[in-house]
Amino acid sequence: MTDRIVSAGPNEGDHSEVNLRPRTIEEYIGQERVVENLQIAVKAARMRKESLDHLLLHGPPGLGKTTLASIVASEMGVNIKISSGPAIERASDLVSILMGLRDGDIFFIDEFHRMPRVVQEVLYPAMEDFALDVVTGRGPGARSVRVPLPRFTIIAATTRVALITAPLRDRFGVVYRLDFYKANEVDQILRRSAGILSLDFEDQAIQLIAGRSRGTPRIANRLLRRVRDYADVISDGNLTKTVAEEALSKLGVDGLGLDEIDQMLLDGLVQKFSGGPVGLETLAASIGEEADTVMDVYEPYLLQLGFIQRTPRGRLATRLAYEHLNEPYPEHLEAHQIKVQGDQLAFNENDN
Ligand code: ADE
């Protein structure tokens, strides 16, 4: 699964050779509202010589949460320590990390929703009070000692904000959602990357790759690297539209950036479940995937394309999905569609 070419999760080889990640805020393309707000927050914190407020970034994978955290650290002129929820297994792991930080340092925690409950319970008071209550001794002689911590900043990233408990979410001064990038932004990102890789390219080749990148820079850069391989082998390194078309078709990525697994999911929803509504678990089982994987990896882009809807009764194929599959749309499905966009968004954020 992880080596699927259009997976938004990191693949082996994504960090090979030249690093394409932007290192400064000026190089960062897209997510304008988030970037502008972060720039102000960084300036204000620096002016006041304070640490930055704790920050929670959420949204689909591959959109640059880790990159943004690293950029914020470098703009603040502080160190960043990077870990992930499942890697911090015990409260003592967290304590030793926090005690090793310096004032102003950033502790970036990826997959924050997977942090064990016992670790979360130590984290809440630490985030709020910059201190830990440590119990020493046993029985009647036990005493609680308050250990001060440096004024650190947590930057947490998650694909599943609904799984973060309210008390933990409340400890973050700022919560931002990263969204899929617009086609012109992915285009700009690809041009920058092609420049770094010293690639000769036709504009249309870049546009073609951008259109199949699912609004996700990680996928865009991965496709660019793979298409470059074809260009090197079959056209002396020239990235022409024809080379890009041929390469993308060989890689099994269709005109919208859907691969075989997305197609299977959509096709299954339409054929086996008559378009739905069908429960997430059932749908996932029908393609041999975990429900969590379907939710985190496949669904966000299909939702963004408007091909499926999450409804209280289950997943539903839309008219657009039927059109994409060249199938006639069964009118009875209309009755299940959720009409109000706002309602659907609220539902998407909170439901699983
Ligand atoms: N490479 C990956 N993500 C990027 C972004 N948001 N801006 C510029 N280059 C990128």
Q: Give the CATH number for residue 224.
A: 1.10.8.60
User: Tell me: the pLDDT tens digits for 170-214?
Assistant: 999 999 999 999 999 999 999 999 999 999 999 999 999 999 999
Looking at residue 343, what is its pLDDT? 44
Task: Please tell me the predicted confidence (pLDDT) of residue 15.
Answer: 61
Structural domain for 223, as ranges: 183-250
Place of tokens 């700022």: 174
Residue 130 has pLDDT above 90, yes or no: yes
Domain annotation covers residue 215: yes
Distances (CA, A) of 173 to 21, 139, 264, 334: 26, 38, 41, 41
Asked if the structure places residue 10 within a domain, the reply is no
What domain count does the chain have?
Answer: 3
**What is the pLDDT averaged over residues 23-41?**
95
Active site residues: 65-66, 110, 159, 218
Q: Which position has the higher pLDDT, 87 or 235?
A: 87
Residue 173 and residue 119 share a domain: yes
Pocket probe for ligand 1: among 35, 63, 65, 189, the residue whose CB has the most ligand atoms within 8 Å is 189
Give the C-alpha separation, 70 to 32, whole Å: 17
The more confidently predicted of residues 345 and 309 is 309
Residues 90 and 221 reside in one and the same domain: no
Ligand 1 shell residues, CB under 6 Å: 20-22, 27-30, 64, 67, 189, 192, 217
The model's pLDDT over 155-167, given as tens digits with 9 standing for 90+, comes to 999 999 999 989 8
Distance of alpha carbon 238 from alpha carbon 200, whole angstroms: 5
Are 66 and 145 contained in the same domain?
Answer: yes
In a domain, 15, yes or no: no
Residue with tokens 């429960």: 279
- 166-180 pLDDT tens trace: 989 999 999 999 999
Residues 4-16: tens digit of each pLDDT: 777 777 776 666 5
210 CA from centroid of ligand 1 (Å): 13
- Best probe residue, ligand 1, of 21, 66, 221 (max atoms within 8 Å of C-beta): 21
Q: Helix, strand, coil proportions of the chain in percent (round to 5)?
A: 50, 15, 35
**Tokens representing 16?**
């090979």
Q: How many angstroms separate the CA atoms of 215 and 206, rounded? A: 14
Render 150-210 in DSSP notation, one character per residue.
---EEEEEES-GGGS-HHHHTT-SEEEE--PPPHHHHHHHHHHHHHHTT-EE-HHHHHHHH
279 pLDDT band, cuts 50/70/90, is very high
**Shared domain check, 139 and 216:** no
Query: Average pLDDT, stretch 40-50?
Result: 95
221 & 292 share domain? no
Model pLDDT for residues 96-108, shown as the tens digit of each residue: 999 999 999 999 9
Strand boundaries in the chain, DSSP class E: 55-58, 80-84, 106-110, 131-136, 143-148, 153-158, 174-177, 200-201, 238-239, 308-311, 314-317
**Average pLDDT over the chain, rounded to an integer:** 89
The confidence band for 352, taking pLDDT boundaries of 50, 70 and 90, is very low
